[in-house]
Amino acid sequence: MQPDDLTRQVRTRIHVCGCGCWVWTGATSHDGYGRFKHKGKVTVTHRYVYDKAFGDLDDDLTIDHLCDRHRTCCNPEHLEQITKTVNSERANQRRFHDAPPDTTNCTPIRPTNGEGEP
Ligand SMILES: [Zn+2]
Ligand SMILES: [Zn+2]
């Protein structure tokens, strides 16, 4: 799947970084995750993209980011659906390996004008 497969509202706000991440350049919520209004409902971007890619989004499960370079990354290849228990176990483990994220391949994120023009 490519960003072009997504609805215009979403794909025009995704910047594909040199590291492979799909960085959301649109609005974010207080927790730092991307969001947008979809059919009148505020929707979390990476959950929406995950569902478009794999079609098995479960509201009781959490989406974990396998990459830690960009908090707003929504590349479905970097997302994994897991239980809340597994998520908190992973969060605990990560606290012990506080290595800074590897951003050597990152390219500057294109500024967005808020209109999401490509
Ligand atoms: Zn990523
Ligand atoms: Zn990057």
What is the arithmetic mean of pLDDT over 81-99?
A: 87
CB neighbourhood size of 85 (10 A): 9
Q: What are the domain boundaries of the chain?
A: 3-96
Q: How far is the CA of 28 from the centre of ligand 2 (A)?
A: 17
The Cα–Cα gap between 49 and 55 comes to: 9
78 Cα to the center of ligand 2, angstroms: 12
pLDDT of residue 49: 98
Rounded Cα–Cα distance for residues 8 and 118 (Å): 10
Closest CA to 73 of 111, 104, 109: 109
* Residue 106 CA: distances (Å) to CA of 12, 32, 70, 117: 19, 19, 10, 22
Tell me, what's the pLDDT at 17?
94
Q: Measured in angstroms, how far is the CA atom of residue 18 from the centroid of ligand 2?
A: 6
- Band of the pLDDT at 116, cuts 50, 70, 90? very low
Nearest ligand to the C-alpha atom of residue 68: 1
Question: In the predicted model, what is the mean pLDDT of residues 42-51?
Answer: 97
* Residue 84: band (very low, low, confident or very high) from pLDDT cuts 50, 70, 90: very high
Ligand nearest to the CA of 22: 1
CATH of domain 3-96: 3.90.75
Amino acid at 45: T
Give me the percent of the chain exceeding a pLDDT of 90: 76
User: pTM of the full predicted structure?
Assistant: 0.86
DSSP letter for each residue of 32-43: S-BEEEETTEEE
pLDDT band, very low/low/confident/very high, at 111 (cuts 50, 70, 90):
low
In angstroms, the CA 10 to CA 99 distance is: 31
